[in-house]
Amino acid sequence: MESVASASWWAAGVLYQIYPRSFQDSNDDGIGDLRGIIDRLGYLSDLGVDAIWLSPIFPSPMADFGYDVADYVGIDPIFGTMDDFDALVLTAHARGLKVILDLVPNHSSDQHPWFIESRSSRDNPKRDWYIWRDPAPDGGPPTNWLSEFGGSGWEYDEATGQYYYHAFLKQQPDLNWRNPEVRAAIYEAMRFWLRKGVDGFRVDVIWHLIKDDQFRDNPPNPDFRPGMPPHAALIPIYSADRPETLDVVAELRSVIEEFDHRLLIGEIYLPIERLVAYYGAELKGAQLPFNFALLSTQWHAREIAALIDRYEQALPSGAWPNWVLGNHDRPRVASRVGPAQARVAAMLLLTLRGTPTMYYGDELGMEQVEIAPEDVQDPFEKNVPGIGVGRDGCRTPMQWDASANAGFSDARPWLPLAPDATQDCAANLRADAQSILNLYRALLRLRRELPQLSLGNYQPLAAEGDLLLYRRHHQGQSVLVALNLGPDPISVASDAIGLDGEVLLSTMLDRASERVGATLDLRGNEGIIVGRAPEEVV
Ligand code: GLC
């Protein structure tokens, strides 16, 4: 069995996603930047995470806020300079924090010099770097493939009389990953950052990289209903998750392997059974294909227990699990499950087997912010308004203190702050002994102290009514996690679960060292961890 010392840093560690535009502004333009992140690294060390992942910071026209890259080896002036970036890596590493970048290889910006060349003529050497096709016989798009952000996935180019494919905005043309020159160019960009000491990449929409070589139409989705995002009208079997994608993932991994101790994470929205294929044959794919199952599950004990079991069973032998509770594309967890359950969700995330990824501000209980129509920034909401797909509400500025704009910026922030931002801010919550922030800090500390929590195996015990109960066991030591997913108290007979020990942590932060008697009593919306205190553990 692996010990904490010998486990990979990313297996035992906790990842923290920063959305750079919204973390900390240092130059008063209302948009967060790298110097701002450097200034807040102390907060992240105090919180107790191990690595930060930054959403894209590369030069970009910002049509999709950085997910439209115009230069894979630069820094957008909005975020600072390459010197700022080097300083960030240096300072983070000095604090023991790893740095993970967002790699966006599926598509570039239409302003990237590669695309400008590619669209300049049919015989340009870079023509085949993107996906160009002749019109269908009726002059329309070559296939029925849809853009995730609404409308056709094909854009007609008058000058050269062909269509190019874009799985997202038309300003985000898809690169042609069947072309070896494209692969080589992106691999070189990866090496550029890896040489700078970057600890890994989160790869954007990795399951989209390869498209059907015969360009077949996607079949209709029989479950499509009005009110769903328009792209859900088709099942994208020919435009994503093609078998050849896994060869590319293995190549991305081999670039990572040219350097020591680096991490490849894949962004993948697929059912669990397909998701786990991205670990690759003989685990030579992504070390962590992001597991987003908790983002869409019903918040019921039995549902969650079933999905944990399904995931654990689907994992290839030796594959390391991971869990995600929030990101910059999905509604805030505190709004999905409510503020009381947000604490239980925190305990779940940080006690499941596998690497947890936290999303900035979730440790403050930040909620989805209502965005007035005139404040909308997200191109998805602009293209497909009014059905709730907008992502601005989970990207609002981090809430630091009680000063103007909650300490995020001295200028008007690019997105509005939450109405209660100066109240529910890091400074106030840090000073409140029972706040959700201090719960996250306590969970992260306990996880660091107890290898059962980071590396132990997962033993499901019960999922009845609102109770979710499991054990984590490592080298002769166990902890028990009991989560009450509902508002009513629950009592569990201790001997029925072979319970022994004391309360190491309650989500309400008020039961430390309480001995567990004949029953384990949970209040409504309470989670507790029971075990032997770290100092008792040899
Ligand atoms: C990923 C990103 C999302 C972006 C999209 C297109 O899903 O997380 O923010 O809009 O890819 O790059």
Q: What is the pLDDT of residue 1?
A: 45
Q: Label the pairing between strands 467-474 and 490-493.
A: unpaired
Q: Indicate whether residue 168 lines ligand 1 (CB < 6 A).
A: yes
Which residue's CA is the nearest one to ligand 1's atom 7?
A: 205
The pLDDT value recorded for residue 495 is: 85
- The count of other CB atoms within 10 Å of the CB of residue 6 is 10
Strand segments, DSSP code E, in 294-435 are: 322-324, 355-359
Q: Which pLDDT score, from 0 to 100, does residue 4 have?
A: 66
Strand arrangement of the beta sheet that strand 467-474 belongs to: 457-464, 467-474, 477-484, 527-531, 502-506
Query: What is the sign of the dihedral through the CA atoms of 183, 188, 192 and 198?
Result: positive
What is the predicted pLDDT for the residue at 497?
83
Say which residues have a Cβ less than 8 Å from residue 98's Cβ, sequence separation at least 6: 9, 10, 13, 50, 51, 52, 92, 199, 200, 263
Which candidate, 283, 276, 292, places its Cα nearest to that of 256?
283
Dist. CA 20 → ligand 1 center (Å)? 14
From ligand 1's centre to the CA of 532, what distance in Å? Answer: 43
Active site residues: 204, 258
Q: How far is the CA of 267 from the centre of ligand 1 (A)?
A: 9
Rounded distance between C-alpha atoms, residue 343 and residue 303, angstroms: 18
In which residue are the tokens 């059962």 written? 452
Q: Please identify which residue in the block is written with the tokens 């080298």.
A: 475
CB 97, CB 16: distance < 8 Å: no
Read off the DSSP letter of residue 306. Answer: H
* Strand locations in 330-456 (E): 355-359
Looking at residue 532, what is its pLDDT?
85
- Residue carrying structure tokens 């015989």: 123
Atom of ligand 1 nearest to the CA of 329: 9
Nearest residue (by CA) to ligand 1, atom 12, is 67
| Residue type, position 462, single letter | A
Q: What is the pLDDT of residue 499?
A: 79
Assigned fold of 457-531: Immunoglobulin-like (2.60.40)
Nearest-atom number in ligand 1 for the CA of 391 is 9
Q: What angle do CA 335, 339, 342 make, to 5 degrees?
A: 85
Question: Which pLDDT belongs to residue 538?
Answer: 41
Q: How many residues does the chain have?
A: 538
| pLDDT of the residue at 534 | 73
How remote is the CA of residue 257 from the centroid of ligand 1, in Å?
25
CA distance 353 to 298: 20
Ligand 1: nearest atom to the Cα of 167: 6
Domain extents for the chain?
15-106+180-210+245-375+426-442, 457-531
Q: For residue 139, how far is its CA from the centre of ligand 1 (angstroms)?
A: 30
Positions of the chain with pLDDT lower than 50, given as ranges: 1, 537-538
CA–CA separation, 249 and 288 (whole Å): 12
User: Could you tell me which of 84, 73, 98 has the C-alpha nearest to residue 24?
Assistant: 84
pLDDT digits (tens, 9 = 90+) for 24-37: 999 999 999 999 99
The Cα 290–Cα 204 span in angstroms is 11
CATH classification of 15-106+180-210+245-375+426-442 is 3.30.1490.20, yes or no? Answer: no
pLDDT at 496 (0 to 100): 81
Nearest CA among 484, 454, 455 for reference residue 469: 484
Phi-psi region of 479 (alpha: psi -120 to 50; beta: other; left: phi over 0): beta
Angle at 325 between CA 321 and CA 327, to 5 degrees: 110
Nearest to 304 by CA among 296, 15, 401: 296
Give, for ligand 1, the residue of 54, 55, 57, 67 to mutate: max count of ligand atoms closer than 8 Å to Cβ.
67
Distance in angstroms (rounded) separating the CA atoms of residues 49 and 444: 7
Strand partners, 130: 175
CB distance 129 to ligand 1 below 6 Å:
no
